[in-house]
Structure 1
Amino acid sequence: MFGPWNNIDPYVIALFWFLGIWPCVYMSVLLVDGQNQRLNGTLASLLAMALGGFIFLPYVALRRSKDAKQFRLNLFVRIFESKLVTILLMIAAIGFALFALKFGDIHAFLHEFRTHNFIHIMTIDFFVVSFLFPALVEDDLKRRKITNNYYSRICFLPLIGPLIYLYQRPPLEQKKQ
């Protein structure tokens, strides 16, 4: 029914794709955040696609919380600021979650989690990136002049919370100099 994915539990497939969605979510914040940091946020997001979300650990640990007054709204920032990108990411995330819930077997996934290191690491990776993201949101809220704590709290919901935040946040405004 699922072609070459036939022998892989849908929870594993969904988890794999969630780990592809997360770097795009991070990119939506790090394209601006990384402009004022020693480490390049864009590079961290791109590396996360290949090396996993653990790559965000050094970025978050070494970054400085700054009220970034100066940033460039270049083409990539505008793309990842768009609601269309967020909607596409939401559709993908919800679609894969529904796919896993409908066709997956949680007991099979738990067995894979206990017996296969790759699945184990992927699962831990998912939760690491889920709990790191809120550390970046505070500065993004400041850049957008948002004081509502709702956004900080909603980002603790794995994946869907940050996607809701990205959809609801107001656009960045380039400061005139």
Structure 2
Amino acid sequence: MVIRKIILWVIWLGFVAYTLWLAPLDQADTWPLGWKLLTLQWGKLNTFISVIFTLMGVWPMIYGAMMFADGRIQNFRVWPYFLGSNFTGVICLLPYLIFRKSNQEFYGKIDKWLRFFDRRSTGFFLLVGTIALLVYAVTTGDWQDYIRQFQTRHFVHLISIDFCLMCLIFPITSLFEDDMARRGIKDTRIFWVVALLPLFGPLFYLCLRPPLMETLEESKNTEIKNKFAPSGV
């Protein structure tokens, strides 16, 4: 566990430093490009860039589908990290993964928001949307132009690396393992198939995983929170 957290710290510090060094917001072409992406003016952009930008919204949903159940017994809220990761990717996501305490149990009621993330249909929707986006990119995008922009435009360069890091850290953090344990999945082969299949492994997992079991054992939930509370509190 300690080694994992060290690796995550190194990735986070390295990417933050790299982002500050490239300073994409200082580039004249960043804001026009960002505005076109946000306002869906994709006809004026290389499709590969539009699709990677959109997939950077799919990854927070994948992590969120595990974070909100996990956050029930953490000592801090999940929302800021989830929302932040939709805008800054791993820069906001990694602090949650670093500071969270590993847990493999779930207690309490499943509210509407958690039920949304827990549904297999949510995973299915994300999977179908991802496939459609990738087909759209392959059939209409210009790969050579994307490579050129990756090498010359800092914003494109960073969102592409950010996407790769989202894939990389998924098997490193214990978040996925804990989610499997909460659902009674003990087959390690499932872990490796999901972990080693970037993007699609986690998406298939969300489509097929068993649902969480609701319980009213609030006293047990409180006991677990106290166990994770800092000493002296």
Q: TM-score, normalised on structure 1? A: 0.91
Give the corresponding residue for 2:155: 118
TM-aligned CA deviation for residue 80 of structure 1: 1.0
Q: C-alpha separation between the residues in 1 aligned to 2:75 and 2:177?
A: 18
Distance in structure 1 (CA, Å) of the matches to 2:125 and 2:108: 26
Distance 2:189 2:91 in 1: 27
- Structure-2 separation of matches of 1:51 and 1:16: 11
Partner in structure 2 of residue 148 of structure 1: 187
Aligned to 1:107: 144
Partner amino acid for 1:81? D
Q: How does 1:132-171 map to 2 (within 5 A)?
A: 132-134=169-171, 135=173, 136-153=175-192, 154-171=194-211
Q: Which residue of 2 aligns with 1:58?
A: 95
Counterpart residue number, 1:84? 121
Structure 1 counterpart of 2:69, which letter? Answer: V
Question: Is 1:143–1:172's contact at 8 Å kept on the other side of the alignment?
Answer: yes
**What SS class does the counterpart of residue 6 from structure 1 fall into?**
helix
Letter in 1 for 2:126: L
1:60-94 Cα offsets, whole Å, 9 max, x none, are: 11111112342431111111111221111111100
Report how far residue 125 of structure 1 moved: 0.9
- Using the alignment, how far apart are the partners of 1:10 and 1:105 within structure 2? 7
Runs of 5+ unmatched residues, structure 2: 1-39, 218-233
Say whether the 8 Å CA contact 1:37–1:64 is kept in structure 2. Answer: yes
Of 158, 161, 173, which residue of structure 1 is paired with 2:213? 173
Which amino acid counterpart does residue 63 of structure 1 have in structure 2? Answer: R
> Is the CA contact (8 Å cut-off) linking 1:28 and 1:80 kept in structure 2?
yes
**Distance in 1, Cα, partners of 2:208 & 2:195:** 12
Q: What code does the residue aligned with 1:156 have?
A: L
The Cα RMSD (Å) is 1.7
Q: Distance in 2 between matches of 1:42 and 1:48?
A: 10
Question: 1:155·1:162 contact (CA, 8 Å) conserved in 2?
Answer: yes
Are the aligned partners of 2:90 and 2:165 in contact in 1 as well (CA < 8 Å)?
yes
Q: Deviations over 1:107-141 (max 9, x none)?
A: 11111111111111101111111122232110001
Distance in 2 (alpha carbons) for counterparts of 1:157 and 1:42: 27
Whether the aligned pair in 1 keeps the contact of 2:104 and 2:182 (CA below 8 Å) is: yes
d(CA) in 2 for partners of 1:11, 1:28 = 26
Larger radius of gyration: 2
Residues 133, 40 of structure 1: alpha-carbon distance in 2 compared, 3 angstrom cutoff = farther
